[in-house]
Amino acid sequence: MAGAGMSIARRRLNLWLAVAAGQPTANGTSSEAFDNLHTDPTMNEPPPLMDAPSPAPAPGPQAPATSLAARLLNVFATPVEVFDEVRTSAHVAANWLVPAILGSVVGLISVVIVLSQPAIQQKIREQQDQAIEKRLEKLVKAGTITQQQADQQRAMAEKFTNPTLTKIMGAAGAVFLSFARVFLWALVLWLLGRWLLRSRFGYLKATEVAGLAGMIGVLGTIVTLLLKVNFSNPASSPSLALVVGEFDPKNPAHLLLAALNLFDFWQLAVMAVGVARLAGVPFVRAGLVVCGFWFVWSFVVISISTVLARLFG
């Protein structure tokens, strides 16, 4: 179509030039050629329209530009670049699966090492025995159970609090919590993005943010393990609870100090960066939303723990 239009235009130009120069043409004299310019049907046909170029296809999600190992390490130093890549690339399941597996392995090893320390075993046993004795004593005084029934319950509790069973239950709990934490935090980030940030990024993208940010928690587990072994205290953690001489899990002030954990705040900040990049909002706004949820959640958990401790402690 474009070639035909160019051919007609070229013929017209040649005839006009010949007429202007007074030269004979294939159609006769210059005057006859001039007349033919108006009578030749091919000369009066409008040039055909050019075909409109087809629009280029929209680019789809690209493959990640960096390796998984680079993303797992860069999230500690340059989380903005990591989450920009997460936002523009296709979903990568390894971004949440590998951190969850690493968290499971580190958590399992941490539980086994901590519960293998004789001093820590002794402290845990003393705390368990004190809690059991206090509860059974209250039940006996209230006439709910007899002393013989209390002795039977005490013997039963000793079977379920032996070190081997405690290690198995602790290891299983570490594996379960490592995966559950990723999906629960992803759900929280996804809902916060939709309800408070007015953004509709996908849930799978939120799992990538929660998973990659979980690498901060993996490092925090290692530091917590070192503190517990060094101080021979199962309650030791990189938090303000270190200033407490004897940690009391029934004391709400002690629970609040334990909640103010350095690595928890670091992880919250990294997750806020991820949400900000996915939602396209400033970091300060995303940080206020994420940290605000954490403060409310921590208050609820501490309040419930205090009430349960007073009721059953």
pLDDT attached to residue 58: 53
DSSP assignment of 126-172: HHHHHHHHHHHHHHHHTTSS-HHHHHHHHHHHHHHTSHHHHHHHHHH
DSSP 246: S
Q: Is residue 210 part of a domain?
A: yes
CA pair distance 154, 20, nearest whole angstrom:
121
Q: Is residue 8 part of a domain?
A: no
Q: Is residue 252 part of a domain?
A: yes
Q: Is residue 142 part of a domain?
A: yes
pLDDT in tens, 176-192: 999 999 999 999 999 99
Token digits for 149?
A: 């029934």
| CB-CB contact of 258 with 234 (8 Å) | no
Q: Is residue 155 part of a domain?
A: yes
pLDDT band for position 26 (cuts 50, 70, 90)? low
Which residue from 267, 304, 303, 269 is spatially nearest to 289, judged by alpha carbons? 269
Q: Is residue 261 part of a domain?
A: yes
- Report the domain count for the chain: 1
| CB-CB contact of 101 with 296 (8 Å) | no
Mean pLDDT of 45-69: 67
Q: Is residue 7 part of a domain?
A: no
Prediction pTM value: 0.80
CA pair distance 290, 281, nearest whole angstrom:
13
> Would you give the distance in Å from CA 311 to the centre of its chain?
37
pLDDT band for position 34 (cuts 50, 70, 90)? very low
Q: Is residue 29 part of a domain?
A: no
Is 205 in a helix, a strand, or coil? helix
List of residues 6+ apart from 147 with CB closer than 8 A: 140
Mean pLDDT of 152-158: 87
Residue 210 structural domain: 81-312
Counting Cβ atoms within 10 Å, is residue 204 exposed (0-12), middle (13-18) or buried (19+)? middle
CA pair distance 232, 84, nearest whole angstrom:
42
